[in-house]
Amino acid sequence: MDTVAPPAAEAVFKLAGVRYVYNGRQVALDGIDLEIRAGEQVALLGANGTGKSTLLKMLDGIIGPSEGSMQALGADVRLVTAGDEAFRFHREVGLVFQDPDVQLFSPTVLDDVAFGPLQLGLSPEEVKRCCDEALDQMGIAHLADRAPFELSGGEKKRVAIASVLSLGPRVILLDEPTASLDPRTKWVLVNLIRMLGQSGRTIVTATHELDIVPVIADRVVVIGENRRVVADGRPSEVLANRELLIEANLIHEHLHQHGGLAHTHEHEHDGTHAHAHAAASGEVRTFRDPGP
């Protein structure tokens, strides 16, 4: 996956000097310059509160820049997300929200997954085909008749993703898609994201989970605590830059103990790590613990 998209591909999003300020005072993005081209698979990394969700909402046309300019699908975002054009835009660009409760509002899972295709005015057969495929891809066909609000967090997450997949968007924006999923579901989903990318879709995934990045992305964009892009490159380059990752608060150093051995070293943001230490006997042991 460590390849870059051909330079000739069309720009799907082009942001220049974009700022976003909530309620006139809470700065969420502070000068974002970013171009994303068709067919790229981008991982968006950043510590809590650096503006990842805000940026994805902006790419989905839900909010517009407070300052700066943004083009989406080849035109000014204000034009493509207004009036009749908005329909085409939302068919082509789909966002899976960080919080599935924001996305799910229907009495049953099937209703939620069918909502988009029904809005598009597809025939009942086409709606069924889109839904079956999306439910199948997420492994949740057995949940079709359940009420979304009764599901577990991980199940809701999968329904939220299915409700976007059923529209078959060309551009998929995923906000922490693997958060709160069990390991098997997480890796099934990671594989699915990879396959969607290989089928030519443009995918932008906000995540803290560094282990999934090389699988789902061919490009990594890091947003720093200054709420600007502080790194943009191939996963192998960006993930090898420990200093940058510590500075961006994606891994951290702290003091802790394993079996009487106090030391400092780096952790990934999810707080888990495994590594080897020489014990007093000289024997090397590997520790795996939940971090702080």
Ligand X SMILES: Nc1ncnc2c1ncn2[C@@H]1O[C@H](COP(=O)(O)OP(=O)(O)OP(=O)(O)O)[C@@H](O)[C@H]1O
123 binds ligand X (CB under 6 A): no
> Buried (b) or exposed (e) across 158-168, using 16+ Cβ within 10 A?
bbbbbbbbbbb
Q: Near Mg ion by CB under 5 A, which window of 46-54, 74-82, 230-238, 248-256? A: 46-54
Q: Could you tell me if residue 36 is left (phi over 0), alpha (psi between -120 and 50 degrees) or otherwise beta? A: beta
Nearer to Mg ion, 52 or 228 (CB): 52
Find all residues with CB under 8 Å of 174, minimum gap 6, and list them: 95, 96, 161, 193, 203, 204, 205, 206
Taking the least distance from each CB to ligand X, the nearer of 25 and 288 is: 25
State the binding partner of 202 from ligand X, Mg ion, none, CB within 5 to 8 A by kind.
none
Q: Does 235 bind ligand X (CB under 6 A)?
A: no
Interface stretch with ligand X, choices 46-54, 110-118, 147-155, 234-242 (CB under 6 A):
46-54
Min dist. Cβ of residue 155 to ligand X (A): 21
Range in contact with ligand X (rule: CB under 6 A) among 42-50, 73-81, 111-119, 158-166:
42-50
Q: 55 or 162: whose CB is closer to ligand X?
A: 55
Q: Give one DSSP letter per residue of 44-78, joined into a string.
A: EEE-TTSSHHHHHHHHTTSS--SEEEEEETTEEHH
Phi-psi region of 51 (alpha: psi -120 to 50; beta: other; left: phi over 0): left
Burial class from Cβ neighbours inside 10 Å (0-12, 13-18, 19+) for residue 147 reads middle
Q: Among 52-60, 132-140, 182-190, 244-252, which window interacts with ligand X (CB under 6 A)?
A: 52-60
**Of the candidate residues 4, 6, 17, 26, the single one contacting ligand X (CB under 6 A):** 26
Q: Does 257 bind ligand X (CB under 6 A)?
A: no
Q: Is 50 in the site for ligand X (CB under 6 A)?
A: yes
What does the alpha-carbon distance between residue 112 and residue 90 come to, in Å, rounded to a whole number?
16
Is the CB of 26 or the CB of 236 nearer to ligand X?
Answer: 26
287 and 258 in contact (C-beta within 8 Å)? Answer: yes
| Binding-site partner at residue 26 among ligand X, Mg ion, none, CB < 5 to 8 Å by type | ligand X
Q: Are 122 and 182 in contact (CB under 8 A)?
A: no
Q: Where along the sequence are the contacts to ligand X (CB under 6 A)? A: 22-23, 26, 28, 46, 48-54, 98
